[in-house]
Amino acid sequence: MNSGMNIITRVGCCIFVSLAWCADASAEAPRHYVFFNRDRERIADAAFLSTKAFEGAQLKYTWRELEQGKDGYDFSAIKNDLTFLNSHGKKMFIQLQDVSFDPNIVNVPRYLLNDVLYNGGADKQYSIPDDDETRAVPEGWVARRWDPAVQERFHKLLLALGKEFDGKIEGINLVETAVSFGESGRLFPKGFTPAMYRDAIIANMRILKIAFPTSVAMQYANFMPGEWLPDNDRLYLRSVYKQAQELKVGVGGPDLLPYKHGQMNHCYPLIRQSAGKVPTGIAVQEGNYQHKNPQSGQPVMISELVEFAMEYLKADYIFWCTQEPFYSENLIPFLQAQRLGKELNQ
């Protein structure tokens, strides 16, 4: 077969793969992981296990489920999932979740909510239509990351996880830095300021790296409260990336949305600048497969997502969500074809 012959073709949103493109992919191509969220039983799916291009799974564990009482850690779910993945030649990436995007779900331990020492343990974040804070509606809960008492408990969890899993898992990531409390201050939680929040994120990264000196330690850093780039740059996000490089903590973020204005002004150039200095990653989340490329006005193809992650962001890891039909009908065939192209050209 001619190396330039197309082996899979789609029209519109569909896949276009050529063996020439596959052959040109360098040895530095991103490592592909499937983000199963909390549907962790899906690591047993035949499609995932049989797709060699998937190096492993990224699985979400909440702070609440891992610390069910004060210092009462239960890591059995992680151990079971890790054993299963390793037995099938797959690796594990942990996403540690301390926020929710559902007003009915709080992901911090119950004892934090009930002890006055922790000021409630978590605070509401909001959806704010047209930046009108009088119309704000709760859309989830975020741990009080800036609260020293809460942060001390979170750091203990990180150290306990590191003692158990450092060097055994591929990596662990803390979730995105973006929180939505508005800008005026009227919705700010008790004790919150953007500067304190920045300092707390950096402190968390420092402890994360101490806990995981061997496995990849990564902070998702997409946006920071109190600024909006490029016009209102308070150096909060830039400080996080600068400190990540000094601490040798990986960086990345949710949402692979090629050329989207907000990300292009915030995290994307910072991820790109971090490439080769610390591990970098990008997550394809719900809705990303339907993103319209601003440059073409057309829905992105899988090949465009990979190309942007690889050529612009220079990401080491791509974490793919399982949104259907894109996961089964588009992503898996693309990666299988890409791998076949590499094998035929070796």
Residues with Cβ within 8 Å of 29's Cβ and at least 6 positions away in sequence, in order, are: 310
CA 29 – CA 164 distance, rounded (Å)? 30
CA 343 – CA 100 distance, rounded (Å)? 42
Going by the DSSP 8-state scheme, the letter that residue 327 receives in this structure is I
CB 143 within 8 A of CB 108: yes
pTM of the full predicted structure? 0.91
Encoded amino acid at 195, one letter: A
CB 214 within 8 A of CB 258: no
CB 174 within 8 A of CB 150: no
* Domain extents in the chain: 28-329
pLDDT at 13: 36
CA 287 to mean position of chain CA atoms: 15
pLDDT at 340: 74
- 156 vs 71, 96, 168, 169, 235, CA distance in Å? 8, 13, 19, 19, 29
CA 86, 91, 96, 97 dihedral sign is: negative
CA 345 – CA 5 distance, rounded (Å)? 13
Instruction: Give one DSSP letter per residue of 96-151, joined into a string.
Output: EE-B-SSTT---S-HHHHH-GGGTTSEEEEEE-GGG-GGG-EEEEEEE-TT-HHHH
Q: Each residue's pLDDT tens digit in the chain (346 positions)? A: 333 333 333 323 333 333 333 333 344 789 999 999 999 999 999 999 999 999 999 999 999 999 999 999 999 999 999 999 999 999 999 999 999 999 999 999 999 999 999 999 999 999 999 999 999 999 999 999 999 999 999 999 999 999 999 999 999 999 999 999 999 999 999 999 999 999 999 999 999 999 999 999 999 999 999 999 999 999 999 999 999 999 999 999 999 999 999 999 999 999 999 999 999 999 999 999 999 999 999 999 999 999 999 999 999 999 999 999 999 999 999 999 987 766 667 6
Encoded amino acid at 216, one letter: V
Render the burial of 63-76: b for 16+ CB within 10 Å, e for the rest: bbbbbeeeeeeebe
Number of H helices, E strands in the chain: 12, 14
pLDDT at 28: 76
CB 211 within 8 A of CB 159: yes
pLDDT at 322: 98
CB 270 within 8 A of CB 238: yes
CA 151 – CA 143 distance, rounded (Å)? 9
CA 215 – CA 93 distance, rounded (Å)? 9
CA 325 – CA 306 distance, rounded (Å)? 18
CA 106 – CA 271 distance, rounded (Å)? 29
CA 171 – CA 332 distance, rounded (Å)? 23
pLDDT at 346: 66
CA 229 – CA 262 distance, rounded (Å)? 8
CA 12 – CA 31 distance, rounded (Å)? 26
CATH class for the domain made up of 28-329: alpha beta
Residues with Cβ within 8 Å of 106's Cβ and at least 6 positions away in sequence, in order, are: 64, 100, 113, 121, 122, 141
CB 15 within 8 A of CB 334: yes
pLDDT at 3: 35
